[in-house]
Amino acid sequence: MALLFFWGLARVPMAQAISLTYISPILALLLAAVTLGERVGRRVVVASVVALGGVGIVMIGHGREGAAGAASLTGVAAVLGSALLYAVNLVIARVQAQAARPGEIAFFQALVVTATLALAAPWLAVVPDAATWPRLLLAAGLATASLWLLGWAYAHGDTGFLATTEYSSFVYAAGLGYLVFGERVSAFTACGAGVIVVACLYAARRRDIAQTSMEAAA
pLDDT at 67: 52
Rounded to an integer, what distance in angstroms lies between the CA atom of residue 161 and that of residue 14? 26
More confident: 89 or 106 = 89
Residue 3 has pLDDT above 80, yes or no: yes
pTM exceeds 0.75: no
pLDDT at 193: 76
CB-neighbour burial class of residue 137 (10 A; exposed 0-12, middle 13-18, buried 19+): exposed
Q: How confident is the model at residue 65 (pLDDT cuts 50, 70, 90)?
A: low
